[in-house]
Structure 1
Amino acid sequence: MKTTLGIDLGTTKVAAVLLREDHTTSAVASMAHEAALSAEPGGAEQNVEKIFDCVAALLARLPAAELQNLSAIGVTGQMHSVLLGGPQGITPLITWQDHRCGEERLRRFHQRSGLSLREGFGGATLARLAEAGKLDDCTFAAPLADYLVARLTGSSRILSDPTHAASWGLYDAAAGEWNFAAAEALGIPRTLLPELRPCGSAAGNVSPEAAGRFGLKAGTPVIVAIGDNQASILSSGENPEEKLHLTLGTGAQLSLVTDNPPEQCSERIEARPFPGGRTLLVAAPLCGGAAFAWLADTVNTFRKELGEPELPRGELLDRLDALALAELRRGEPELTVTPNFLGERWNPALRGEVSGLTLTNATPGSLGAALALGIVRNLKAGFAPELIAGKREVIGSGNAVRLLKSIQWAIRHEFGLPLRLPDTREEAATGAALLAQN
């Protein structure tokens, strides 16, 4: 039976899945890469080689015989990220969490290019670096997953698909190509931008050098990388257009697939390419599962400053979740929590709010209940009701959905739909492996 390998390069971990052609999984593994680097204020950078070393260590955990008999390899990874290469080697990866542009600079970029670039997008990062004269010695720019594909195949060319191109904010969906005029207006040389290929295209074959480093068989076909948002949805099964796809990890995403996107969407919603010529509408708040963790961390901060021992974070999250669920079952909390703690891409100046406070209602359970509802409502807010109408279920993924019963309750309550938590773990890696089967 043919087997494909899916590799996911996430913000905090790498994951790998071996998937048989009947869509059953033969092996799954994941590992925190701990590749974060110290950066200047607002910066978010990672050590690329450390991530790739982690990939090699992770693949060593999988059955060697299956790795030597793969029909193809699919790759996915964190979107929006960018690294640069040139005669001096490669730079650190600048991730989607980078906030070094600022509102004034983003406004200037918009005036020059006509594009509404958002903080953390690769296009905004490249424009910032261009202003500082830091692109002069560079010969290519790449998302992390696309760079891994180049390393696997031993290619000097960076190949990208529309999902990653759109995540940089420089993609012209109507033309199916980079918006070269906007890039040049921002000082980004067109020669830096990857060559675009359709979703699921062949990128090349594993090189002998990469085979030795990653424990793979030389000559194994490798597919052009796909964005992790789209890969996760591919793993959810048939008819994705009938479902809402809600992920709560470090960040958050609510996505739906459509053949007929509206001409105009809320500023909260991004329209992203999806395999098969379809469109993925996405709300992607910057603070997802981390918003609920904020409550646990705040409780521990209070305890510490009052001279009390801190509680283990996992235990505290479980207790707060139980209190929040009990509160939700009693009815709508008086409190309202708006979890824009990190700002939002569409408005970086936003901050979180707690309202409806009285002298008696600021209990851990009430705060937890209001926070669970606030997280889900923040995801839902940008979607017109007609876009959600007719959906049959919500597909949930990410640890915050799987582990927090209060979040599950809030999802069912807000959407009025059943919530399904697939048995499949490492959804993005699974989606990449599925794409490699086609």
Structure 2
Amino acid sequence: FGTVDTWLLYRLTGGKVHATDPSNASRTLLFNLHTLSWDEELLQVLGIPSAMLPEVRPSAGDFGETLPGLLGEALPIRGVLGDQQAALFGQAALGAGEGKCTYGTGAFLLLHTGKRPVLSRKGLLATVAWSLGDRASYALEGSVFMAGAVVGWLKDLGLVQESAQVEALAREVADTGGVYLVPAFTGLGAPYWDPYARGAILGLTRGTGKAHLARAALEGVAFQVADVVRAMEEEAGLLLKELRVDGGMAQNPLFLEIQADLLGVPVLRPKVTETTALGAALMAGVGAGALGLEEVKGAWTLEARFDPRMPEEKRKALHGGWRRAVERALGWAREEG
């Protein structure tokens, strides 16, 4: 029994290792974030024998060796990390208050909260980021359901032929002309968690064109991310000084300019944007004793920086309009009592 990493380790080592690390164990909801061990009370409630569960080892450490001949000679396995935690490590967000956002089909934010878990009341997920020896680092995670999928929707509508054309189309106008697009096509994730919310376009006028819709779509993703960041800052008591980004939408400079403006903090894109793979590799380097945390920080290199240029008053006004738009989208699909 275990998570995907447990199965991979078991197969790679020929059944010799049945283990996981705290970042993956914490996603089973059977793991105690405070004691860094399986929670006996939860196991009893759910009727799960503790003998079934994998051994929890530090994220950087000894996870055995691969079977000889499987990948050539036997290779040591020295690091295990969950997906988003590996991206956080690959972005070298190693200190409290540092964070990253991965823009895939959805958007996934992690804020490093230091040596303590922050238990959220706003629908954010407290998780172990990683453990080195007997010391764990923690993070808050927030999920946005629709990010790159919004660009795909514009393509499906025929507004663009290719996803890469969205930036050029959106640049045809200086702003959205007062249009807001709430991309709640499958409900809204953090911090709203409303499965009954539905997509909405508000503020349309006779002068609204395709370019306004394209720009409003990009803003709709950026607004959602800003909502999650504000919730994280409030609950963790930390201020995000910069946001490190990766994923498909991170290749769109206009979108990152919009994200920086709506957040009010710089947005940084690294040269290596496959940060999950990079983070797993770096953790293995730490586990093998080949790297220290300073070397991990040094492995991160900046490709592009996007500084906010929007005045604070305008940012607040736009957020006010966004909140009004979200209020109209919330609960839309709920059946009337």
Does 1:405 pair with 2:264?
A: no
Equivalent residue, structure 1, for 2:171 = 325
Compared CA separation, residues 379 and 186, structure 1 to 2 (3 A): farther
Equivalent residue, structure 1, for 2:5 = 145
Does 1:423 pair with 2:271?
A: yes
Does 1:337 pair with 2:337?
A: no
Gaps of 5+ in 1: 1-139, 301-310
Query: Of residues 30, 34, 44 in structure 2, which corresponds to 1:174?
Result: 34
Gaps of 5+ in 2: 287-337
Equivalent residue, structure 2, for 1:366 = 212
Give the 3-state SS of the residue equivalent to 2:64 in structure 1: strand
Give the 3-state SS of the residue equivalent to 1:349 in structure 2: coil
Shift of 1:222: 0.5
Compared CA separation, residues 144 and 361, structure 1 to 2 (3 A): farther
Compared CA separation, residues 264 and 406, structure 1 to 2 (3 A): same
Equivalent residue, structure 1, for 2:150 = 291
What is the correspondence of 1:273-288 to structure 2 with a 5 Å cutoff?
273-275=128-130, 276-288=135-147
Compared CA separation, residues 353 and 193, structure 1 to 2 (3 A): same
1:209-241 deviation per Cα after TM superposition (whole angstroms, max 9, x unaligned): xxx33x3321x2112521111111212236543
Query: Of residues 244, 260, 265 in structure 2, which corresponds to 1:395?
Result: 244
Amino acid at match of 1:143: T
Shift of 1:280: 0.9
Partners in 1 of 2:172 and 2:184 — Cα distance? 25
Partners in 2 of 1:163 and 1:401 — Cα distance? 25
Q: Percent identity?
A: 25
Shift of 1:320: 2.4
- Residue pair 2:106, 2:146 contacting (<8 A) in 1 also: yes
Partners in 1 of 2:48 and 2:115 — Cα distance? 32
- Residue pair 2:9, 2:17 contacting (<8 A) in 1 also: no
1:101-131 deviation per Cα after TM superposition (whole angstroms, max 9, x unaligned): xxxxxxxxxxxxxxxxxxxxxxxxxxxxxxx
Number of positions where the alignment pairs a residue of Structure 1 with one of Structure 2 = 277
Partners in 1 of 2:240 and 2:11 — Cα distance? 40
Partners in 2 of 1:221 and 1:182 — Cα distance? 34
- Residue pair 1:394, 1:418 contacting (<8 A) in 2 also: yes
Shift of 1:420: 1.6
What is the correspondence of 1:10-159 to structure 2 with a 5 Å cutoff?
140=1, 142-159=2-19
Partners in 1 of 2:177 and 2:28 — Cα distance? 39
Amino acid at match of 2:112: V
- Residue pair 2:80, 2:283 contacting (<8 A) in 1 also: no
Partners in 1 of 2:139 and 2:202 — Cα distance? 35
Partners in 2 of 1:356 and 1:166 — Cα distance? 40
Equivalent residue, structure 2, for 1:435 = 283
Compared CA separation, residues 318 and 332, structure 1 to 2 (3 A): same
Does 1:203 pair with 2:63?
A: yes
Equivalent residue, structure 2, for 1:235 = 90
Query: Of residues 190, 195, 201 in structure 2, which corresponds to 1:349?
Result: 195
Partners in 2 of 1:198 and 1:344 — Cα distance? 34
- Residue pair 2:116, 2:138 contacting (<8 A) in 1 also: yes
- Residue pair 1:320, 1:364 contacting (<8 A) in 2 also: no
1:150-178 deviation per Cα after TM superposition (whole angstroms, max 9, x unaligned): 21122254211111111222221112122
Compared CA separation, residues 236 and 264, structure 1 to 2 (3 A): closer
Shift of 1:407: 1.9
Shift of 1:345: 5.8
- Residue pair 2:97, 2:238 contacting (<8 A) in 1 also: no
Partners in 2 of 1:165 and 1:423 — Cα distance? 31
1:295-337 deviation per Cα after TM superposition (whole angstroms, max 9, x unaligned): 211227xxxxxxxxxx74xx3x23322222343xx23542222
Calculate the TM-score normalised by the size of structure 1.
0.57
Equivalent residue, structure 2, for 1:270 = 125
- Residue pair 1:333, 1:369 contacting (<8 A) in 2 also: no
Equivalent residue, structure 1, for 2:107 = 252
Partners in 2 of 1:350 and 1:326 — Cα distance? 34
Compared CA separation, residues 196 and 261, structure 1 to 2 (3 A): closer
Shift of 1:199: 1.8
Shift of 1:189: 4.2
Compared CA separation, residues 286 and 195, structure 1 to 2 (3 A): farther
Partners in 2 of 1:338 and 1:221 — Cα distance? 48
Partners in 2 of 1:172 and 1:257 — Cα distance? 18
Shift of 1:257: 0.8
Compared CA separation, residues 196 and 377, structure 1 to 2 (3 A): same
Amino acid at match of 1:216: G
Which sits farther off after the overlay, 269-278 or 255-264?
A: 255-264
Compared CA separation, residues 184 and 369, structure 1 to 2 (3 A): farther
How much is the aligned-residue C-alpha RMSD, in angstroms?
A: 2.7
Compared CA separation, residues 239 and 189, structure 1 to 2 (3 A): closer
Give the 3-state SS of the residue equivalent to 2:171 in structure 1: helix
The structure with more strand, counted as a fraction of residues: 1
Compared CA separation, residues 333 and 223, structure 1 to 2 (3 A): farther
Amino acid at match of 2:42: A
Give the 3-state SS of the residue equivalent to 1:223 in structure 2: coil
- Residue pair 2:10, 2:17 contacting (<8 A) in 1 also: yes
Give the 3-state SS of the residue equivalent to 1:351 in structure 2: coil
Compared CA separation, residues 285 and 390, structure 1 to 2 (3 A): closer
Shift of 1:413: 0.8
- Residue pair 1:205, 1:221 contacting (<8 A) in 2 also: yes
Amino acid at match of 1:286: F
